[in-house]
Amino acid sequence: MCLSCTLIQQPYAQQVELKRSQAQTLLEPYGPTAWLEPFTGPEQGYRTRIKMVVGGTYRRPTFGILDRERRGVDLRECGVIHPELTRMFGLIHSLIRISKLAPYSVPERTGELKQVHMTLNEAGQIMLRFVMRSRAGVKALRPNLAGFLERAPHIVTVTANLLPDHVALAEGEEEIHLTGETTFPLTISRLPLRVRPQGFVQTNQAVAEGLYAQAGEWIAAASRDSHVGPPETVWDLYAGVGGFGFTAAQAGAGHVIGVETSSEAVAAGNAAAAAQGMAAVEFIAADATQWVREKPAPELIIVNPPRRGLGPDLPVWLNECEAESIIYSSCNPTTLARDLAAMSNWSIEQARLFDMFPQTPHMEVIALLSRS
């Protein structure tokens, strides 16, 4: 049984209130904070990006998670998955069956297909990725792909990702493109971007757009209040494909540098900037903590790290830097609070809960920091 949606029995308004009060308690020492109204999107069917572990047999595959014995548990009816993605499982099931594509069995270490990943865009198009143990799985799939795509014309990008090792990872390094399209169209921060299979995109696109807009509003408000206009330079650290960076450019920032470890995301961000004629935006593949060293800080720094937070060194650097403000967007208020504990020169001026993951205890919190 899946234990992700631990709040599912509670009325939705209560869930939001619970998260707001948890975030407020955790971040209380780093204020005084003006809390904005929580931002919510759809309560169900909100996941536009999913990663499903495949189990069972090729005749009766399961899509979901593995239980304690590492056997597949089927979650294709899960209510938080967007219905357009749920509808795809029947066809994918047929493709697996006619290809005799055996799901990977963790206990036996046999089989090929480990996971199925899907991303949905605002036009209803889908990127589909098969995480496979080896090329044998790809070979089994190929002859049946054209027929499958005829039945699912809105699946526009298909890849196989190779994960040969027996490890609990979601994907490996090698990506094999199975369709002409090697990228996937996705509107991020109101811009038509082309993302690549291995780059991070947010799980809940509707709420992510609200998150970027919040950063844009803070930048616009600071420009008005300071009477000196938008910031000359902005860093978007942990940039992904640049949702925050593009928002800063749209709010008038003179020069935006996005820093991100995934070269796929960096390539997608740079391609989008070129396609949009946004010469002011550039992306660099680097570790954020290493990259900031020895550089003069810009007026505004935006950080959006993974759940583990910024790590031990970057908060110390941020604490001493000369930036005028920092926007910290976090999917884990516990690590946000821990990082802020090392940044005593800064305090939270405004903060807002974004309910990116309804029914689960997870949340996104964005905070505008100014000098204490």
Ligand X SMILES: C[S@@+](CC[C@H](N)C(=O)[O-])C[C@H]1O[C@@H](n2cnc3c(N)ncnc32)[C@H](O)[C@@H]1O
- Applying CB under 6 A, the residues found at the interface with ligand X are 200-202, 238-240, 243-244, 259-262, 265, 287-288, 304-306, 331
Supply the minimum distance, in Å, between the C-beta of residue 308 and ligand X: 8
**Tokens linked to 266:** 């960096």
C-beta closer to ligand X: residue 96 or 259:
259
Residue nearest to ligand X (CB): 240
Contact 40, 355 (CB under 8 A): yes
C-beta closer to ligand X: residue 178 or 265:
265
Give the angle subtended at the CA of 238 by the CAs of 269 and 204, to the nearest 5°. 80
C-beta closer to ligand X: residue 112 or 364:
364
Binding-site annotation: residue ranges: 202, 238, 260, 304
Distances (CA, A) of 300 to 164, 165, 215, 220, 326: 42, 41, 11, 12, 6
C-beta closer to ligand X: residue 122 or 287:
287
Supply the minimum distance, in Å, between the C-beta of residue 211 and ligand X: 7
- What does the alpha-carbon distance between residue 51 and residue 163 come to, in Å, rounded to a whole number? 14
Please name the residue ranges forming H helices in 192-312. 205-226, 243-250, 263-275, 288-292
Known catalytic residue: 2? Answer: no
Q: What 3-state class would DSSP assign to 253?
A: coil
Supply the minimum distance, in Å, between the C-beta of residue 305 and ligand X: 6
**Tokens linked to 109:** 């270490």
End-to-end CA distance of the chain: 46
- What does the alpha-carbon distance between residue 84 and residue 88 come to, in Å, rounded to a whole number? 7
Contact 287, 313 (CB under 8 A): no
Residue 37 φ then ψ, to 5°: -55, 135
Q: Per the residue annotation, which of 5, 78, 321, 331 is the catalytic one?
A: 331
Supply the minimum distance, in Å, between the C-beta of residue 132 and ligand X: 22
C-beta closer to ligand X: residue 96 or 234:
234
Supply the minimum distance, in Å, between the C-beta of residue 201 and ligand X: 6
Active-site residue list:
331
